[in-house]
Each structure stands twice: as C-alpha cells, then as structure tokens.
Structure 1
Amino acid sequence: MSQALLAARRPLLALSVLALAASAHAQINKLDTVVTTATRTPQKLSEVLVDLTVITRADIERQAAASVADLLRNNGCAEMVRNGGAASTTSVYLRGAETRHTLVLVDGVRMDSQSTGGASWQGIPIAQIERIEVLKGPASAIYGSDAVGGVVQIFTRKGGGKTSFDLGIGVGNLGTQKLDGGVFGSAGMVDYAVTLAGERSDGFNATTTDNAFSYVPDRDGWRKSQATARLGVQLAEGQRVEAVMLRSHANAQYDASKSKPLVDDRTKQDTDAARLAWTAQWAPALQTQLSYGESRDRYETTPSPYLTVTHVKNLALNGSYLLGKGQQINFLGERIEDELENSGLLTAGVGKRHRNAMGAGYLFTQGAFSFQAHARHDDDSQFGGADTGTLLAGYEVATGLRLVGSIGNSFRAPTLYQQGTIYGPDLSKGAQPLKAERGHNVEVGLKYGSGDTEASATVYRNRISDLINFEGALTTCNSGFGCYGNVPDALLQGLSLAASTQVSLLHVSATLDLQAPKDATPAIAGRTNNYGKLLARRAQRLGTINADTNLGDWVLGAGVQASSARFDNAANTRRLGGYALVNFSAQYKINRDLKLQFNVDNAFDRDTTLAYGYASAPRTALLTLRWNPTL
C-alpha cells in the first residue's frame, strides 16, 4: 500500500470518529444566523431544511486561504482541482457534481462562463468577502439553471456605524506579497464600504515531468488586483437602495508547450460584477426586492491568441408575503440574458440567448413540523422550457433534533459555446439538438441544534441525465475531432457528516464525506463503456479537521484536509494518490486595533497531484500585519 494512501486513510479515520463523537455538541454555525440562500428570503439557520454551511469573515481571516476554492476545501464544502497556482484554472465539485453544476452568486449577481460552463473560480476575489453561504444539493426550483449540485453565494463586505478602516500587509515565501485595505461606515441615511487589494507571487512550477506536452522547469507566478464598492441608502423606513460594484484582474504564467521553454505564456482574467437593488417593506407582511445585475468574465491567453468573454444580465423581482403565523408565500419573476464573444462561434463570433422565468414557494411551520414547496418555470430562447420543483419537510423528533428530507429536480442549460461552434451537433446531418442536463435528487438528514451548537448528517442520491460530453468523431459532427452531445448519465450518492465541539478552551470541528460519484451510462454502441466507474478527479472519501483555541492575546489554530485516491480519467486507468495536508495558524493581538498573523499551509510539504501533470502548492508561509482602527 502506498505511503500517500496510508497518509490519507489515517486522517480520514480520525475524521469519522471525531465527526460522530462531536455530533451531540456541535458548534459549526450560530443557529440565530440569518441566511438567504436556502429560500432566497431571510430565515434563521435553525429553520433551514437543507444542507447549508456558513463561512464567516473570522474564518476567512484566520485561515488566510489562497482563494475561494481553497477556502471551500478547507471547510469541507467541496473538492477542488487546480492546474497550478492560485490564479490557475480551477474546478470545484460539490457532492461530486461537475463544476458547471454549481451556481455562484456574488452579492446576488450570477457568475458564469458560457465557454467552459460554470464560474471562473480563480477570478473571484477573496480579500473583500464578508460571508459565504454554501448550499449542498439541487436548487433549480429557486434559482433556475446551473444549481444542479448546489449554490455558493458570496457576500462582500458592507458598511455601517462609525467609520472604520481595515489594512492588511502580508509577506511570504515564494516571493508572495499581499496588500489589502478598506474603509467602512455610515453617515446619516447612507452607508458605504470601499475595499482594494493587490497580490503578487513568484509561484512554483505549475507542471510536473508527467506532463509530456507542457512541462517547463520554471516558476509560474501570478499578479492579482481587486476592488469593490458598496453604497446603501435608507430612503425611508423599510425602503432601501443599494449599489454594489466589483472588479478583479489576474495575470498568471503557465506552461503552454515544452517546445517553447523561453516563451512567457500568460492567462489574463478579468471579472466584473455590478448590481443595483431596491428592497421595500410595504407592510409587515409584504416585502419585495427589485434588482438588476450584470457580470462579465473575460479570459485571454498570450502570446498564444485566445479570447473569450461572457456577459450575463439578470433582472429580477422577488418577494414574500406572510399569510399568517407560520405561513409564507415567496414569489419571483426573472429574466436572464447570456452573451458570448468567442471567435469559434459560427454566428460572427457572438452568441446570444435569453431566459424568462417565474417561480413561487410556500413555507409552512406548525409546532414541530415544517414544510416547503418550491416551483419554477424557465423558458429558454434556445432549448425551450424547463419545469423544476422541490418538496422539503422537517420534524423535530426531540428537543434540538430534527429529521429533514427533500425531493426535487434541477437542470443546466447548454452553453452558447457547446451549441454555437463547429463542435456543436450538426442538425443537417441528423444530429439531435443539445438538451438541458437534468438532475433528480432525494435526500434525508438529521440536524441537531441547541443554543450555540449544531451537527448534521445527510444521505443523498442525485441522478443526472443527458450530461453534455465531448464525444469522438461521429458522422453527425462538423469537426473531425468530435462534437458535444447528450450521452452520459451520472449517479451521485453519499453521506455527509459535519460536527464540532467546544472542549474547555479548544474548539474542534470536522467534516466527513463518503461518496460514490459514478458513471451511470449503460453500454452504447461506438462509445467506451465506463459504467460504474468513478467520475474523473472525484474521491470516495474526503474530510477536514479544524481546531483553534484562545490563549490570552493569542489565537492558535490547526487544520487537516484529507482525500482518498482519485482517477484523472473516466476510464479509471490513471490514478491520483490520496493526500493529507496540515495547516497551522497563529494570531497575536498587539493592541485593540493591531494584530499579527502567521499561517503555514501544507506544513509538511507534501507533494499532491489534483490533476495529472500539474503540481499543487508546496509548503507556503505568510506573515500578515492587520490594522483595524475605528474613528
């Protein structure tokens, strides 16, 4: 048995023991925290019927993660795959679902790429984030397309109260330098928040010698710059207008071809988002929000010429009405417009489509029993209509202990690139138009909560059909290399455990996922049969342990992320070893406004491979001085 596999199995065994032992005294999230992702309207975390995790600003500062994807992995929310450093192409898998099956919202703005499908995780800034809500499981009945595996909603920092400042300066190995700052506050009916951040690193060699095509023995560094602005105006009691703007730029080196070792290949990623929202409380029972949002994802490589730009526009009116004690109706009308600029498109390099949607939800709570029903209809200008629905129920079987369950379906619309290039199906040759990918999910869980404590265990089964995959050359393809088609199915099933406990001064939390994300496509003539094999780059066992303690002016922490072996390809012939990474953190409060922080990630410098031929970060150390004065 390999040392890598042994290293992975030991922490995973410890994770399972800790997760079960701590379930009676968990403290993952405060139960009175107000969240919005589960129903698109505010509700207490204690009332949520789905598998939802909240990552706070304190977690973000303490862990000092390199990216949003690292933060999700560190907290047991998802698996991560990355082709090199923190600015390299990144994929995130929730419950084993494809990265395009996770809907990403930043302050309510949809983030997506209509070329690759799914959000460009490497372009999402982390320094300005206040909170992240991670919903595991389908949510298309509330959000429409993309939410097949789950929803990640990111909230940037907002102002209020007295004027305060936040300045952080960090230096680390690999030539890493970080600087971020912000001002927050309010004046009369106006509140404001403005943040700026910059980062640079010499990086490490992004490729390994296994990469026969791209390996170049050099360091692949990156530069990032980020800015956000948030302005809110309280027009009157119950009437608020808010504007949010975000801008992120990343410039990263990568190895394109070993035949050109002196060429400085680079990717340039620009991520922009803006939103204007009007929230109104018309009566004690009636609340609405009218919002308009836009996002732009621009990805370019040089000197090898490639450019793709995605624009997403979203106009929505949603709200809620209280029918009486314990009864609420939610309603939604939405229009989404997608636009892709890509030279590969057959329509003069530009593709467009729009989607109109209407939805409604019913929330009922009576004593120990809770029930929710959500339904939505989307009408897409390219592939037609999609109806989605979800039923959820919960029952408090004992004080603080609830049994919850849900059943529902979901979908992901084909991207403009999949449909509009020579790699799309050729209808003139008898090919079928691309259909939306569909998911059908059922899950049952136990949630425990009492005061500041919480724990959960969830069993789920999500069958995804009509998956869009790139197939080899067929008679119905325009391209001799192949084309996209609705061929494979996938079955995602597993058990998720999460728990934490406070023992004296020590707070310990753990997550454990036992999953089986597999190919469920029966044998088809002319296609390689991978039925029953694991989906590429997905593990069967993964988990985390995080612990921290307050000792006077010190906050000391440690964490472990562990994964069992995976396979890099659908045929399961190229194996990626398991791993266990150990991280340490320490904070020292110098005075009321000043603190010093030290983080070491991958402390034992383990070699890990998340994608065949690409390296992961070695041991990294970061020393940060943070100043938070208030006027």
Structure 2
Amino acid sequence: MALSIVSVPSLHANNSPTTSFTLSPLVVTATTTEQNQADSLVSVTVIDRDAVNKQQPQELSELLASQPGIDIVTNGGYGKSTSIYTRGSSSTGTKLLIDGVPIQSHSTGSSSWQYLPMFQVERIEIVRGPKSSLYGSSAAGGVVQVFFPEASQETQANVSLGGGSFNTQQASASVSGLSGDASYLLSVGTFETDGTVVKEHAGDMGYSNDNIFTRLGYEFDSGAYAKVFIMRAEGQSDYTTSTGSLRSNDFVNQAIALTSGVDLTEDWQSEIQLRESRDDSDVLNDKGVKTNSYFYSRSRGVRWSNTLSQSNHKLVFGAEHIQDDFEGSYTKERTSKGVFAQSLSQFGQASAQLNIRADRYDEYDTQTTGGVALGYQIDDVYSVRASWRTSFTAPTFNSMNAENWGYTLTNEIRPETSESFEVGLRGDYQNSYWDVAVFQADYHDLITWNYPTVGNIESARVRGLELSTGLQIEYWSFALAATIMDTENLSAGAEKGNRLARRANKSARIDVDRHFANSTLGFTVASYGERYDDAKNSALLAGYGVLNLRASYDFATDWSAELSIKNALDKEYQTAKDFLNPGRGVFLTLNYSAF
C-alpha cells in the first residue's frame, strides 16, 4: 500500500510555510563527504532537525525505535542500560559517533546510548551495513552519527523549561552567534525524573542528567579553519541488583574534538582531528556512598583525512591512531593504527564506490576490511544500487578478562568479522520517495556470554528486507519504515538453527504530522514483533506497539509550547526479560527564543 501511495508523481504542491520536510537531505556519514541521500550507494536513514523537534524526544532510543534495521533493548525506563542492534549484529556492532567522535565503553564494547542529551541535537544519520572500511572496529552492523548544530549566523538565545509525568523536570539554555571570523555556541541543560518501576516490586528508579555543549570556530583569511567541540553529560541512574539491592550509576559521558582543515590546493582538502572520549561509571550504594565497583573508559585518537576532487571523481584517504585505556576491576590499554582509502566515481548514469582499510592492534593480526558499491540512475525517478562490504569488531576488554568473574573461555577470544551483500531500489518524485533494500549479512566469531562460558560462536546469518517511504501532500507529511528480518545461528551444537537473541523478526514505524499556520499535530506508531531473550530460544518476549502523540503551538512572538504523550495507550511491554518499560507519560515544554 505504501508503495502504491508514493509511486505516483506529486499530487499537490507544497505550500506550507511551517515545515522543512526534506525528501533527500545531505548526508556525510556514508562517505565522510557530502552527498544527497538519494545518491548514496548504501542504505541511509536521516532524521533531520524538523523531525527531531516534532518528536520531542527525551532519549535517543525514541528516535531510533523501529527505524529500518534497528532493534532496541532497554533494561527499563529513563537512563537505563540500552543496546542497539543494527541488521542483526551484536550490541557492539553499531558505532556511535558524536560529531565524528566515537564514544563507547571499552569494557562492554557498546555505547551508553541512554545518557546522550537530546537538547540541541541537530540531525541523526543511520548508515546500515558494515562501515569498518571507513571507521574501523565496531561498525559491523552500521553507524549512528549524532550531529549538534553549528553556530548561527546571527546572535541567538534560547531557553526551554518543561516537566510532566514521573515528576520529570527539564531546563536548557543556549546562546550562539558570530564575532568577526569567530563563531560560538554554548548550551547547558538539566533533566531529572523520579523514573518508573523497572522491575516488579522494586519501586521507581530515578535518573538525572546535567549536560553542557559548546562549539568554537575560527575561519582564517586563507580559507583554513579551526574548531573545538565539547559535549559532557554527567548524572546518576538508579537500578536494582539481582538480589534486590538499590544501586546507582554515577556516570560521565564526554566527547572532545579539536579539528583543523585547510585547502592544500584547489582540489585537495586536508583535515586533522585530535579527539578524546570518556565513558565512566561509579556504582553507589543505597546511601549514596561509592562501592568498589567502577570503570573509567577513555579513548584518545588522531585522524588525518584528505579529499582529492577531480571532475566526477573523489579520492578520500588518511590514517588514524587510537589509544584505549580502561581502569576498573582490572586495568588494560590497547593501541591501534589504521590507514584507509576510498574512491567515489561517476560515469554518466553509473556510479561506483570502493573502500579499503587496514587496522593493526597490539593483540592480534592486522584486520583488513573493504567494500564495493555500484549504482545506476535508470531515469529521472528510479535508481538501483548493489554493494558488498566487510567489517570487524575488536573483542571487548570484558570478554578478554571474563575469567575475573568466574567464566571459562571456550577459546582465545578472536575479533568478530562479517561480510554483507545488499541490493536496493529507489524512486524519487517531487514530493515523495520510496526505498527498498534486501540484504544478507554473514557474521563470524560472534562473541557470546552463556554462563559459565564465554567465547566465539562459529557463524550466524541474517537476511532482511527494509522499506522506507516519505510523502507530503499540502500540509500533511507521512513517513513509513518497515523491516522483516530472519536471523539464524549456524554454529554446530544444540543452538544451531536458533534465532539470535534479542533480535525482533519484524518492525514497523509510521509518522504522521499535520502542519497549520502556527501549530502542528502528529503521532508516531512504533512496533516490534516477537523476539527471544536468550540464545537457547526458551524465553520468548511478545511483540508490541507504542503510540506517541504530539502537538506544538507558536502562541506568541518568540514563544512556543510543545505537548507530548508518550506511550499514549499505556502499553505494558518488555524488550529484556523482567525489565518493565515506562507507561503513559504526559510532558509539556515552553520555549523562548531571543534576538
């Protein structure tokens, strides 16, 4: 039905002055260079600022829910442990970038998705399928990059106050502008909630997050530039142990980058980035006193990237050096060095993308990854693409030290590897588009924890179909995403033929918004099919659907109000066994913009 709706030319011109609906926005994550989403040779989803503002998210998982190829598992409500699975990869196989800075815990190998402050988020890009050939380890399933805004061209200040269910309170303020050749943006925010019941009879689990974001930039007369980016979030998130004791994570999540670029020639742009990220946690007892459980995870890196442009061809090449450090119940550090190259070529209606990268780690042999993607513009409307890509994920520090917690290693832990094939077809019209992709991903040496053992399983296979569409008719905007996915453990043993744990067999998402002169009304339905919570396929979690309602109103000059009802039907559901997600929540936010 969705295909039949969007496979016709535009029915009405877009006359709405209140929407910036974009059918083919610019993306950079897929290639590190700007290109239209419609021209990408790999599957990409873009959540632009208009969509972010309309959905009024309090956590990143709200925006990612039921997007093509994305599975989300949370241990309860606000600020609780969250895992992202892209195209059936493990929870360590989706790389999170914050304005180009990777951020993750080297103990678990996954990112603290739940702690990312949503105020000031400008745009989100989701690249599906392996991208190790550009970004190194932890991109077997894909990459999610979150962008914060650049400084505004004119002085601008914003203040936001909100609150609602679960005794939730939030406040934020920002100022941005230019001063000669210098630009600046400073934002501060706070979010606090009593939370909801995460486990039965355990009481509400609170969460707080205080955050700051700043960006400074300077443009030289020569065209060179330098910019500094800092994002820091810190706070506490309550949880209960398996024995019922109350604990709290005292966390710090931070990303810092200093980036400088220059045009070496008319056709050669060069950029170097120095960066550091932190993912720290101290466990507090029910009295707020630190226990002996903690981890401090830090990554420092330098990335040198170059882009050579000539007619219809681009060459991207560079090198990267990364130092990872971890301190907790054990201490460990790791160094890696990588070199990469990418070519982008246009030959009339045909296009090609070639990638290769080599990463050398201290502990094991060089990991070489690559990819080939081909595309063809059939006519002004239809285009087709096909790709083959490989990837790898370095073992987590925890898996390499699992014996510290009484586990037995079934083998010397090896890096996870994958290869993926994809074919896609897309149609672009004046006010609508559709995109269909079929893929197969073969994963090798996936690291699994199954007490009392931890080790690599031989292989797993994931096959899937993804659909996304967008349509605008006058003041209405519609978006639909759907995924059908089949996962299978191919390793020898009792679990051969089982579905991979925590991956849903299907998902769908519908976004509908109606734009008026100074207000909007909209809703989102996000749903997932059933999934197993364990590798043995003995714990089946039922499928579910969640309805979110929203409205916004510009009630005076420089003033606006936003109302959202999350989980409006008060649906009870679990994405991890025995962990309850929040029920219905009503939230109101007031915004003021100055200058």
Is 1:22 matched up with 2:6?
A: yes
Q: Aligned pair 1:52/2:22, yes or no?
A: no
1:111 is aligned to 103
> 1:597 and 1:430, CA in 2 relative to 1: closer, same or farther beyond 3 A?
closer
Deviations 1:351-408 (A, max 9, x none): 1111111111111102110001010011111112001110000001121211001001
C-alpha displacement of 1:123: 2.0
- Alignment of 1:255 with 2:240, yes or no, is yes
Match status 1:144 vs 2:129: no
Matches of 1:23 and 1:542 in 2, distance apart? 22
- Aligned: 1:442 with 2:421: yes
The separation in 2 between residues aligned to 1:392 and 1:610, in whole angstroms, is 34
Closer, same or farther: CA 143–558 of 1 in aligned 2, 3 Å: same
Separation in structure 1 between the aligned mates of residue 132 and residue 571 of structure 2, nearest angstrom = 39
Q: Tell me the TM-score normalized by structure 1.
A: 0.89
Aligned residue pair count: 582
State whether residues 53 and 77 of structure 1, in contact with CA within 8 Å, keep that contact through their aligned partners in structure 2: no
Hey, what does 1:551 align to over in structure 2?
Answer: 516
Match of residue 375 from structure 1: 356
Deviation at 1:339, TM superposition (A): 0.9
Query: Do the aligned partners of 1:205 and 1:218 also contact (CA within 8 Å) in 2?
Result: yes
Paired residue for 2:260, among 273, 278, 281? 278
What is aligned with 2:589? 624
| Unpaired segments ≥5 residues, structure 1 | 1-16, 209-215, 473-480, 524-528
Note the C-alpha offset of 1:43: 2.3
- Say yes or no: does 1:499 pair with 2:450: no
Contact residue 425 and residue 433 of structure 1 kept, 8 A: no
1:354 paired residue among 335, 355, 360: 335
Q: Distance in 2 between matches of 1:430 and 1:277?
A: 41
Distance 1:255-1:431 versus aligned 2 partners, 3 A rule: closer
**How far 1:284 moved relative to its partner?**
2.4
- The 2-side partners of 1:430 and 1:466 are apart by 14
CA distance in 2, matches of 1:424, 1:329: 47
By how many angstroms is 1:104 displaced? 0.8
Deviation at 1:430, TM superposition (A): 10
Query: For residue 39 of structure 1, what is the aligned residue in structure 2?
Result: 31
> Counterparts of 2:172 and 2:7 in 1: how far apart (Å)?
38
- Match of 2:220, SS state, is strand
Residues 561 and 36 (structure 1 numbering): CA distance in 2 closer, same or farther, change over 3 Å? same
Greater mean deviation of Cα atoms: 410-419 or 449-458: 449-458
Residues 55-134 of structure 1 aligned to structure 2 (within 5 Å): 55-73=47-65, 75-76=67-68, 78-134=70-126
Structure 1 contact 70–80 (Cα < 8 Å) conserved: no
Q: CA deviation at 1:76?
A: 4.8
What percentage of aligned pairs have identical amino acids?
26
Matches within 5 A, 1:521-540: 521-523=491-493, 529-540=494-505
How far is the alpha carbon of 1:118 from its aligned partner?
1.5
* TM-score normalised over the length of structure 2: 0.94
Alignment partner, residue 460 of structure 1: 439
- 1:40 to 1:295, Cα distance in 2 relative to 1, 3 A: same
**1:367 and 1:79 mapped to 2: Cα distance?**
38
State yes or no: 1:396 paired with 2:383: no
| Structure 2 CA distance for aligned equivalents of residues 486 and 107 of structure 1 | 32
Q: Aligned partners of 1:249, 1:430: CA distance in 2, in Å?
A: 35
Q: Offset at 1:31? A: 5.5
What is the root-mean-square deviation in Å for CA atoms of aligned residues? 2.1
| CA distance, structure 1, for counterparts of residue 352 and residue 439 of structure 2 | 19
CA 1:305–1:488 in structure 2 vs 1: closer, same or farther (change >3 Å)?
A: farther
Rounded Cα–Cα distance in structure 2 between residues aligned with 1:430 and 1:541: 33
Corresponding letter in the other structure for 2:427: Y
Which runs of no fewer than 5 residues in structure 2 stay unpaired? 15-19, 286-290
Residue in structure 2 matched with residue 223 of structure 1 by the alignment? 208
Tell me whether 1:318 sits opposite 2:299 in the alignment.
no
The alpha-carbon deviation at position 455 of structure 1 amounts to: 1.9
1:49 is matched by which residue type in structure 2? Answer: L
1:417, distance to aligned residue in structure 2 (A):
2.4
Q: Secondary structure at the match of 1:122?
A: helix
- Distance 1:124-1:22 versus aligned 2 partners, 3 A rule: same
Aligned partner of 2:464: which letter?
G
Change over 3 Å in CA distance of 1:153–1:555 after alignment to 2: same
- Give the superposition deviation at 1:514: 0.5
Q: Secondary structure at the match of 1:174?
A: helix
Q: Residue 417 of structure 1 aligns to which amino acid in structure 2?
A: N
Shift of 1:128: 2.7
Matched, 1:609 2:538: no
Q: CA separation in 2, counterparts of 1:588 and 1:31? A: 24
For the residues of structure 1 that align with 2:172 and 2:436, how far apart are their CA atoms?
38
1:170 to 159, 162, 178: 162
CA drift of 1:327 comes to: 1.0
SS at match of 1:352: strand
Q: Does 1:593 align with 2:578?
A: no
Structure 2 match to 1:573: 538
Contact 2:68-2:467 at 8 Å conserved across structures? no
